[in-house]
Amino acid sequence: MRTLKKGSRGSDVRKWQSFLIKQGFKPGGVDGDFGQNTHNATVAFQKKHGLESDGMVGKNTFSKAAELGYDYTLTKIITPTSEKDIDKLFDNIANHFCKVVVPSSDYFKNSICSNSDLLYPSIRNKAEKICKQVPNLHIFETYRSNVRQLSLFKQGFSKCSQFGMHYYGVAVDLVFKDGKGWTWDGDYKTVRQLYKENGLVVLGMWDLAHAQIPEVKQQTSLRNIVKQKIKYYQKKCGIAVDGDAGKNTQSAFRELFKYS
């Protein structure tokens, strides 16, 4: 998405102005013209939220706004593109995995898990937002243990045998629910369009309901970064350093991160 600044015009400016008004600032109306008043209102918004106060609406300002309910639907969401951004993102995901996913009582669960706490926050927020936009759409599955992944693989339901993206809390399946229960017979064209607009990655049509954060070509890199992070914390705990989060590691991480 483009950066909005003094001189910008268009529907995205109008959208930004109406957001500022809702937040209690005074951009001087909703005219789609980013002038001095909108600049000042943007600076005030940035100051209030501890952002760099340059009056330009870029990635950081948009992210803060998104946390406050700013809706990106008309414009395309930014996905991290530079390698540095991806490293940072994957590092955060690895920390989330060690601190939240591994200690969870669902970590070894061998059935469908729809606990959204295990999702990395950005995909959780997006999934919840999309569910609000599409009638009867719900979070079906979030985290998936290796045991369950392997059993799905053996039954031919998945192309991945272990360490799938659900395992890391960076994939979600949204499914429709009608009077009779769960159904995949819904408007997935819209759902997949919303996934993409929110910067999520979709797979082939054989996996309609699925969305994930990493591109397929980034998956190996994510797995490695998580493995290194597990080793880092294992070392900290003084337990065997193998990069594999089994029962001992779970107990140690629960202790380390005061998980209850």
> φ and ψ at 45, to 5 degrees?
-60, -45
Sign of CA dihedral 77, 83, 87, 90: positive
* Nearest to 142, CA basis, from 168, 122, 160, 116: 116
Nearest residue (CB) to Zn ion, 62 versus 143: 143
Q: Give the shortest CB-152-to-Zn ion separation in angstroms.
A: 10
Nearest residue (CB) to Zn ion, 33 versus 173: 173
Nearest residue (CB) to Zn ion, 73 versus 162: 162
Binding part of the chain for Zn ion, among 61-69, 78-86, 105-113, 170-178 by CB under 5 A, reads 170-178
* Nearest to 26, CA basis, from 50, 3, 43: 43
Nearest residue (CB) to Zn ion, 39 versus 166: 166
Nearest residue (CB) to Zn ion, 55 versus 169: 169
- Determine how many CB atoms are found less than 10 A away from the CB of residue 179: 6
Q: Give the shortest CB-144-to-Zn ion separation in angstroms.
A: 8
Q: Give the shortest CB-131-to-Zn ion separation in angstroms.
A: 15
- Determine how many CB atoms are found less than 10 A away from the CB of residue 34: 25
Report which residue's Cβ sits closest to Zn ion: 210
Residue choice 210, 219, 249, 252 for contact with Zn ion (CB under 5 A) = 210
Binding part of the chain for Zn ion, among 2-10, 86-94, 180-188, 209-217 by CB under 5 A, reads 209-217
Q: Give the shortest CB-181-to-Zn ion separation in angstroms.
A: 19
Q: Binding to Zn ion by residue 144, rule CB under 5 A? A: no
In this structure, are residues 137 and 101 in contact, taking their beta carbons and an 8 Å threshold? no
Half-sphere exposure of 76 (CA within 13 A, CB side): 9
Which residues are CB-neighbours of 88 under 8 A, at least 6 positions away? 80
Residue choice 8, 119, 173, 222 for contact with Zn ion (CB under 5 A) = 173
HEC readout, 234-256: HHHHCCCCCCCCCHHHHHHHHHH
Q: Give the shortest CB-166-to-Zn ion separation in angstroms.
A: 6
**Binding residues for Zn ion, how many (CB under 5 A)?**
2
Nearest residue (CB) to Zn ion, 84 versus 189: 189
Positions touching Zn ion (CB under 5 A) are: 173, 210
